[in-house]
Amino acid sequence: MSTWGEIEQELLANRLPTGAPDLDKVRRRHLKRLADYTGRSCIVYATNGFSPRPGATGPADILVSLDPDIAGFMEVVHGIPKDQPLDLILHSPGGHAEAAEAIVSYLRGRFPGLRVIVPVAAMSAATMMAMAADEIVLAAHSQLGPIDPQLTITTTEGPRTSPAAAIRAQFKEAQADLATNPTHIAAWLPILRSMSPALLQICENAEELSKTMVKEWLQKYMFHGEVDAEAKANAVTEYLSDYQQFMSHGRRVDRDALRAVGVRVIDLEADQELQDRVLSVFHAVSHTFTLSGTVKIIENHRGKGMFRAVNVVAVGGPVIPPQAVPGRPVIPGVTLPAAPASGPAMNRQQRRAAERRSRKHS
């Protein structure tokens, strides 16, 4: 059982007393099935960041962040055998490099081995986390992404996020142009005003930090013991951090491209049973995002987890606070242990029927 529709049918057959699908039961069942098959501990780290729900406002909601992610990983790591290697199912648009570093340090210091499985996408800082694995499992449709850092700067039009490499390149372009055409200063002045005195150094430091982290992880883990480990780590790092080559931070990097530069990639399709169980977990996670206010999941194969939730907005209806969802007494912006989530919002006909019943009994 691995398709989105098949997991949906399983949810329809497993309901809470309220009638809502038992999202937690189904998701945890498939996490356990995966761990039973691999003989490894398993943690899923997934966010709804590729299609953010209205109400998810801060980095902690959908991005790799120090708080609450470290607390979440501490929660799910507790009680897992220290002598078993770990499978990390990773689905994230990325986030803070410093948070990725903290998570990697914690997991690599706790488990004897780390395999990262990317069912769909792990971008930016999540790609960096994947580079700390012994090997990466990718499907034909899976993707990683460039690791060049993105900076948010203040402009006259408001905050703008730009690649650090692009900021440095534009400053050099301005330098070169103004050296020969000083009369162009009026055109360049609005751009240069947004560049604080330390901005270029911040850009350089951010680029160097991401490169250093990934290079060190590759040498220490994926290429450990290989005579050309340093050269291979350099090649992978330079490829993933090349902004000029990718031209977009959201660019897809598939498994063939990764293999071409030396990354140790395993095809998910090479083991049909593994593929089936991994995709079952992913689709169960996707349904949890769709049918509840959940925007971030950190959960292990033993049913222990921490979620991030926001308000649920019913189309054409009022905002439903998470604590009003059956079985999920959570507070917006606060991470709490996993609990059953809500069912789908009522359609227009169902809402009108409910309103008529309400007027009748009032």
Question: For residue range 198-219, what is the model confidence (pLDDT) as tens digits?
Answer: 888 888 888 999 999 999 999 9
106 shares a domain with 8:
yes
Mean pLDDT of 102-117: 97
Residue 198 within a domain: yes
168 shares a domain with 265:
no
SS (H, E, C) the chain: CCCHHHHHHHHHHCECCCCCECHHHHHHHHHHHHHHHHCCEEEEEEECCCCCCCCCCCHHHHCECHHHHHHHHHHHHCCCCCCCCEEEEEEECCECHHHHHHHHHHHHHHCCCEEEEECCEECCHHHHHHCCCCEEEECCCCEECCCCCEEEEEECCEEEEEEHHHHHHHHHHHHHHHHHCHHHHHHHHHHHHCCCCCHHHHHHHHHHHHHHHHHHHHHHHHCCCCCCHHHHHHHHHHHHCCHHHHCCCCCCECHHHHHHCCCCEEEHHHCHHHHHHHHHHHHHHHHHHHHCCEEEEEEECCCCEEEEECCEECCCCCEECHHHCCCCCCCCCCCEECCCCCCCCCCHHHHHHHHHHHHHHC
Residue 36, token pair as written in the block: 């039973």
Residue 208 within a domain: no
Residue 165 within a domain: yes
Position 58 pLDDT exceeds 70: yes
260 shares a domain with 192:
no
Position 121 pLDDT exceeds 80: yes
Position 346 pLDDT exceeds 70: no
93 shares a domain with 23:
yes
160 shares a domain with 99:
no
Residue 188 CB neighbour total at 10 angstroms: 17
pTM for the predicted model, two decimal places:
0.83
Residue 362 within a domain: no
Q: What range defines the domain where residue 63 resides?
A: 4-145+252-348
Position 52 pLDDT exceeds 90: no
Q: What whole-number distance in Å separates Cα of residue 85 and Cα of residue 82?
A: 8
Cα four-point dihedral sign 78, 80, 85, 87: negative
Residue 175 within a domain: yes
12 shares a domain with 141:
yes
Backbone φ and ψ of 90, nearest 5°: -120, 125
pLDDT at 57: 64
276 shares a domain with 127:
yes
Identify which has the larger pLDDT, 193 or 77. Answer: 77
Position 311 pLDDT exceeds 80: no
162 shares a domain with 133:
no
* Of 79-83, 103-107, 261-265, 300-304, minimum mean pLDDT range: 79-83
289 shares a domain with 160:
no
260 shares a domain with 135:
yes
181 shares a domain with 129:
no
Read off the pLDDT band of 302 (50, 70, 90): very high
Residue 233 within a domain: no
Residue 280 within a domain: yes
Structural domain total, the chain: 2
Residue 329 within a domain: yes
* Of 93-97, 123-127, 182-186, 257-261, minimum mean pLDDT range: 182-186
